[in-house]
Structure 1
Amino acid sequence: MPRILLLALTFCLWPSRLAPGEVARYEASHDAMGTVFTVVAYGADTRHLAAVVNEAFEEIDRIDAQMSNYKPESELSAINRNAASRSVLVEPRFFRLLQDSLRYSEETGGAFDITVGPLMRAWGFFRGQGRLPEKSEEANVLVKIGFRHVILDPATRTVRFDKVGIELDLGGIAKGYALD
């Protein structure tokens, strides 16, 4: 669906009052996921373009509400709170993203790893309070990182952590996913 939405933004040519061959440009920006998304769309009907761009922003907001580690009510926050003690049911598209993320982790030998949440917190990246953690703190955090501690069950569409302290952070993939 998100891919179709972006294609619609790019190739939207509906009948309008423009002269034949004339193309309108519509641009809008939207704050979400700690950044600014700007969409530029071209087509024959600016009202239709505005509606399609608004749909794109609504989808970005939906993904942000689902995958944010800043929002305690998000699905990601619920996973981080509960997956060390029980299996957590995950929405289908989100589950596929987790599967893809773990595959990328495997393919990169862990260079890409969605379990960096504890490290991000230790370095103060969550609230823009960057700091250098003490060596002992860093050592305690590093044992809580590792994509192999995330167990996905495709049959039940659930996620579970095999260790307490694991915390997912989708900052390295969620924005790109929202754009797709």
Structure 2
Amino acid sequence: MYAAIIAYLTIGSSPLNVSRYDFTQAHMGVRVDISLYAPDRAAAERAAQAAFDEISRIEVIASDYRPDSEAMRLCDRAGQGPVRVSPTLMNLLLRSEQFHYHSGGLFDVTAGPLVRLWRESRRTGVLPTHEAVQGARRNAGMGAVIIEPAA
């Protein structure tokens, strides 16, 4: 799976005075390719590193592979009352709610119990039982999430 970010840097020069530079790093469990145009390699490296740093910052907040991420700490408190979150996580949750709505429910950030079940299945090579899938489904669903930006 590839995530691609394309940025155009003109930094006071015309498009004819720039070259393409490509950078790759692993973030959030995927290969992230950044292709950008810059007047020189140093400018391209600074821009690419800034983008990778931002991806890393968001990963610390939102990764479900990191038990210490803010998102996982939020999940650990699910059903225990209101939880104050950072502005970044709030923005991600609000965007997730929009994607959920516009996808007709196909995009669902609360699918963690199902994701964990299938990760375990992949790891062990054993398909989950129907009962296990149904149990995971009962513990997922945006309908149980209340997002209050002003709280």
Task: Specify whether residues 108 and 29 from structure 1 end up closer, same or farther in structure 2 by C-alpha distance, changes over 3 A only.
Answer: closer
Q: Separation in 2 of the partners of 1:107 and 1:22?
A: 41
Name which of 108, 111, 114 aligns with 2:109.
114
Note if 1:34 corresponds to 2:18.
no
Mapping for residues 140-155 of structure 1, pairs under 5 Å:
140-155=135-150
Q: Separation in 1 of the partners of 2:88 and 2:107?
A: 20
Query: Percent identical across equivalent pairs?
Result: 30
Partner in structure 1 of residue 54 of structure 2: 59
Note if 1:96 corresponds to 2:94.
no
Residue type of the partner of 1:103? Q
Higher helix share: 2
4+ residue runs over 3 A deviation: none
Gap regions ≥5 residues in structure 2: none
Contact 1:68-1:77 within 8 A present in 2 as well:
yes
What secondary structure is seen at the aligned counterpart in 2 of 1:40? strand
What secondary structure is seen at the aligned counterpart in 2 of 1:37? strand
TM-score by length of 1: 0.71
Report the number of matched residues.
145
Note if 1:76 corresponds to 2:66.
no
Instruction: Give the RMSD, CA atoms, in angstroms.
Output: 2.3
Partner in structure 2 of residue 160 of structure 1: none
Contact 1:105-1:112 within 8 A present in 2 as well:
yes
Partner in structure 1 of residue 8 of structure 2: 10
Gap regions ≥5 residues in structure 1: 1-5, 157-180
TM-score by length of 2: 0.83
CA shift, 1:34, in A, is 0.5
Q: Separation in 2 of the partners of 1:14 and 1:33?
A: 34
Note if 1:105 corresponds to 2:103.
no
Contact 1:12-1:49 within 8 A present in 2 as well:
no
CA shift, 1:46, in A, is 1.8
Task: Specify whether residues 100 and 79 from structure 1 end up closer, same or farther in structure 2 by C-alpha distance, changes over 3 A only.
Answer: same
Q: Map Cα deviations across residues 141-170 of structure 1 (whole Å, 9 max, x no partner).
A: 2211210111111221xxxxxxxxxxxxxx
